[in-house]
Structure 1
Amino acid sequence: MLELETFKTVVKHTPLVSIDLIVRNSRGQVLLGKRKNRPAKDYWFVPGGRILKDESFANAFSRLIKQELGLDQADHVFKGIYQHFYEDNFSIEDFSTHYVVLAYELSSSDGLSNLPEEQHAEYRWFDESELLASSSVHEHCKWYFQERKQADI
């Protein structure tokens, strides 16, 4: 991990590459966590995380499903590339955050246990229509369930 000041410089001047995990249970509901940290603090959002320097996509995916969901493996489908722009960042300093996001959808049992609480205060399963209608679900999270919100490339 980078030292705090170095990481601030990276976030201030470059996009971050991340993986978001769209997890569905047997009823088709989507797992969301209520974010504790900026950006998107206090909004419901899918689990996920950054790809680390010198980490392959496959290794990042494996690490993130283990850290974020407690899973050793998961069948998954690539959903696309998205860009998330935030006016704030993880610190209290005044600069934006830009993510290039690789979104993956996977299925899991309803009984995910031991979900981490570092980034999310609580978790719950949402029906897709419910999350799209909710003002407490972040706009960027809703894009995964709307037409043509992927990055234009």
Structure 2
Amino acid sequence: MLPFNRFLLTVDATPLVAIDLLIPNEVGGYLLGHRVNKPAQGFWFVPGGRIRKNERLDDAFRRIARDELGRVDVERTEADLIGVYEHLYEDNFSGQPGISTHYVVLGYKLRGPIELESLPNTQHTAYRWATPEEIIADSTVHPNTQAYFGGHLPR
């Protein structure tokens, strides 16, 4: 992990690479979490996280599933890559003015539902299930999440 100031310089100078997880349930809904941290603070968003330097994609996928879902047994081979997305934010993790955040995100959809017993609360204050139609229609769902379900990103 980079020290705070060094990571802030990285966010200011480069895109970050991340994985987002689209987790379906048995009745057509997808898991959303209410974001605690910037960027996208206060919005509903799919679980996800940054890939770390020298971290293999499979290792990153497992770590993100563990950190975001509390699951240690979710493998990238159980998901399909739905696309590569750009997430652009005017703010950053620290709230430091004048520094935007740029993510290149690999969106993965799990092929089927998984058991979710106790979801972590470090990144999200609450969780809910929503259908693709509900996600697209709900202004409290971040546009970057809506894009996974056919919504359009603002220009």
Q: TM-score, normalised by structure 2?
A: 0.91
2:74 paired residue number: 73
Unpaired runs of 5+ residues, structure 2, are none
**Runs in 1 of length 4+ with deviation above 2 angstroms?**
none
Amino acid at match of 2:140: S
Aligned counterpart in structure 2 of residue 104 of structure 1, from 81, 105, 108: 108
Partner of 2:2: 2
Identity of aligned residues (%): 47
Q: Report 1:113-152 matches (<5 A).
A: 113-146=117-150
Equivalent position SS for 2:22: strand
User: d(CA) in 2 for partners of 1:73 and 1:30?
Assistant: 16
SS at 2:40 equivalent: coil
Q: Distance in 2 between matches of 1:148 and 1:45?
A: 15
1:34 aligns with 2:37: no
- In 1, the alpha carbon distance for the partners of 2:150 and 2:2 equals 35
* Cα drift, residue 92 of structure 1: 2.0
- The 3-state SS of whatever aligns with 2:23 is strand
**Quick one: which amino acid aligns to residue 73 of structure 1?**
V
Which structure 1 residue ranges, 5 or more long, are not aligned? none
Cα deviation digits, residues 59-94 of structure 1 (max 9, x gap): 101111122112212511110100000000011212
Question: 1:23 Cα shift?
Answer: 0.5
CA distance in 1, matches of 2:141, 2:95: 23
Hey, what's the Cα distance between the residues in 2 that align with 1:102 and 1:114? 25
Per-residue deviation, 1:148 = 8.1
Question: Deviations along 1:31-74, whole A, 9 cap, x unmatched?
Answer: 00000111101000000000001001111011111221122125
Normalising by structure 1, report the TM-score.
Answer: 0.92
Residues matched between the structures, number: 148
Q: How much is the aligned-residue C-alpha RMSD, in angstroms?
A: 1.4
Aligned-partner residue type, residue 105 of structure 1: K
**Corresponding letter in the other structure for 2:55:** E
Q: Which amino acid aligns with 1:108?
A: P
